[in-house]
């Protein structure tokens, strides 16, 4: 028997000008690759609505929240798992939940991290990189990433299961992208 389909995101998002309807429900179980595409497109529309609100500077209209976007990512993850079956994604990713996705979404909205600090993103093991036994410095903004020692940078990359090779600029960019920052370095 196939696993139950995940519930569709139902929260009304944004104001009418920025509303994002939920994705189309899968017609069958298990879902198809078209259903994965629909879930992914839904997340792209959420991101576009968030950016439209940000760049419009509309007072009082916050558009989709970090929770809305993280819930959309969780829905997409659930559909992908149903399509691919057990083991379709790495074990560390299968364990991800809203607590893992939300900091990435928030960091993507913090610009450089100077006006609003980045959130801590747990390592793939679920550990907090700033707590014992890792005790790495908190990365609150893009400047702090650039100030990491080579050893700290290697530890962060290893904790996120990212390749540690490359010159310092490549390594810093790799970590920044993983933490949700996609601006200029």
Residues 71, 98: Cα–Cα separation, whole Å = 7
**Domain of 46?**
16-89
Whether residue 100 is contained in a domain is answered as: no
Q: Does 168 map to a domain? A: yes
Whether 4 is in a domain gets the answer no
Burial 10-44 (b: 16+ CB within 10 A, else e): eeebbeeebebebbeebeeeebeeebbebbbebbe
Q: Are residues 139 and 179 in the same domain?
A: yes
| Token representation of residue 133 | 């036994």
100-110 pLDDT, tens per residue?
A: 666 666 666 65
Picking from 145, 147, 144, 137, the residue whose alpha carbon sits closest to that of residue 173 is 145
- Co-location of 127 and 160 in the same domain: yes
Is 99 inside any structural domain?
A: no
Residue 97, domain member (yes or no): no
Tokens of 107: 């960091």
- For residues 68 and 118, membership in a common domain is answered with no
In this structure, the answer to whether residues 132 and 77 fall within a common structural domain is no
Q: Region 21-33: what's the mean pLDDT? A: 82
Residues 118 and 185 both lie in one domain: yes
Residue 102 lies in a domain: no
Task: Verify that 119 and 184 share a domain, yes or no.
Answer: yes
- The string of pLDDT tens digits covering residues 158-171 is 998 888 888 999 99
The CA-CA-CA angle for residues 95, 159, 120, to 5°, reads 75
Q: Are residues 119 and 72 in the same domain?
A: no
35 plus 76 within the same structural domain: yes
Quote the number of domains for the chain. 2
Residue 94 within any structural domain of the chain:
no
Q: Give CA–CA dist 113/79, Å, rounded.
A: 32
From residue 21, alpha-carbon distances to 11, 48, 64 in Å are 9, 13, 11
In a domain, 105, yes or no: no
Q: Of how many residues is the chain composed?
A: 185
**Higher per-residue pLDDT: 111 or 69:** 69
Residue 181 sits in the same domain as residue 118:
yes
Q: Which residue has the higher pLDDT, 158 or 48?
A: 158
27 shares its domain with 76: yes
Of 127, 132, 109, the closest CA to residue 119 belongs to: 109
């Amino acid at each position: 028997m196939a696993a139950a389909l995940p519930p569709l995101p139902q929260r009304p998002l944004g104001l009418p000008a920025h509303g994002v309807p939920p994705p189309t429900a899968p017609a069958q179980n298990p879902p198809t690759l078209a259903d994965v595409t629909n879930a992914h497109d839904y997340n792209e529309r959420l991101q576009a609505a968030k950016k439209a609100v940000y760049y419009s500077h509309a007072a009082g209209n916050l558009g989709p929240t970090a929770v809305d976007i993280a819930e959309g990512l969780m829905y997409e993850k659930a559909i992908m798992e149903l399509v691919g079956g057990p083991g379709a994604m790495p074990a560390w990713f299968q364990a991800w939940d809203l607590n893992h996705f939300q900091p990435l979404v928030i960091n993507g909205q913090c610009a450089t991290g100077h006006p609003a600090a980045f959130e801590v993103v747990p390592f793939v093991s679920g550990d907090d990189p700033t707590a014992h036994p890792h005790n790495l410095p908190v990365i609150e903004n893009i400047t702090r990433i650039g100030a990491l020692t080579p050893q700290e940078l290697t530890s962060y990359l290893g904790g996120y299961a990212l390749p540690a090779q490359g010159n310092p600029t490549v390594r810093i960019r790799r970590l920044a992208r993983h933490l949700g920052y996609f601006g200029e370095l």
